[in-house]
Amino acid sequence: MRWTPGGLSPDIEDRRGAGGGGFGGFSFGGGSLGCGGFVILLILSLLFGRNFFSLLGGGGDSTQPRTQTQTQTRPDVSQPGSTAASTAQRTPEQFVSFVLDDAQGTWDKLLPEQANTPYHHSHLVLFRDATQSGCGYAQAATGPFYCPNDEKVYVDLGFYDELRERFGAPGDFAQAYVLAHEIGHHVQDILGTTAKVHAAMEEDRRNANTYSVALELQADCYAGVWAHSSEQRDILDPGDIDEGLNAAAAVGDDRLQRMAGRRVNPDSFTHGSSRERADWFRRGYQSGRISSCDTFQR
């Protein structure tokens, strides 16, 4: 992507220096853990090759989560060729800040134009290992997610290393796709889609996974709508869309089940197959319209 490094977005909340929270039961490094929790962390550590007991470590900063404020004027994204891009230091924080601001700036315009609905901003929470969210205790192992209860996106930047190395989806636009997908969930929340789907899942639990897949594929399509806008504004490099399509396919349920050594079981899908995820991202990208993203009638 063609982007200009700048100060962090005012919509970013950086908790990477904050403690992760406590448990009740066995004590580990100042935290505590029940028997069931101990077994779960042991299994996760063995499966993922990571020390999940470090989530209970007591060496972190115990200060309260803080909200990062803008430290300098945000760059004008309409001028991607700025010489500042070649001279300023690029960091992962600056990149996700750029994508966040660009995606939300896009929806500021598109949602009123295409859905006659005002958009209001989500916040992006950067955390390390674990943190509290409005949807419960969040862990890095679950990957990035959106919580409708507090309207925030939660990301451990270490996930992007896994996206590249474990899932085989390199490139800055692969990372941008992930964040745009989560912002897509915020759009669903504003439009009332999320509440309707959750109510339907409660009433029709037998088909809950089907509703979940439709919700996730729609977020993929909304990510594609943002990609369409990005291309129109000439901030995409050659190959960026391919990176996005590859990332969407890399986290398909069928591929993840194969990676885990399990039999592919479509009935257990919650996000959609690799082909479906790539197809709906492509559909949003090609049309640039919210109306093209009705995954519930597919």
| CB < 8 Å & 24+ apart, contacts of 119-123 | 119/187, 119/190, 120/190, 121/11, 122/11, 122/146, 122/151, 122/152, 122/153, 122/183, 122/186, 123/11, 123/12, 123/13, 123/67, 123/151, 123/152, 123/153
- Which tokens in the block code for residue 247? 């990332």
Quote the pLDDT of residue 4: 83
Q: Is residue 79 part of a domain?
A: no
Residue 260 inside a domain? The answer is yes
pLDDT: is 154 or 18 the higher one?
154
Domain count, the chain: 1
What is the pTM (predicted TM-score) of this model? 0.78
Q: Which residue has the higher pLDDT, 193 or 75?
A: 193
Q: What are phi and psi of 155, to 5 degrees?
A: -140, 130
Give pLDDT, residue 216.
97
For residue 20, pLDDT over 80 is answered with no
Per-residue pLDDT tens for 211-225? 999 999 999 999 999
CB atoms under 10 Å from CB of 70, counted, come to 15
- What pLDDT shows up at residue 182? 98
Cβ atoms of 130 and 139 closer than 8 Å:
yes
Calculate the alpha carbon distances from 46 to 26, 32, 49, 52, 166 in Å.
20, 20, 5, 9, 16
Full domain range(s) for residue 221: 12-19+60-70+90-297
Residue 153 lies in a domain: yes
The rounded distance, in Å, linking the Cα atoms of 42 and 145 is: 23
For the cut 70, the answer to whether the pLDDT of residue 169 exceeds it is yes
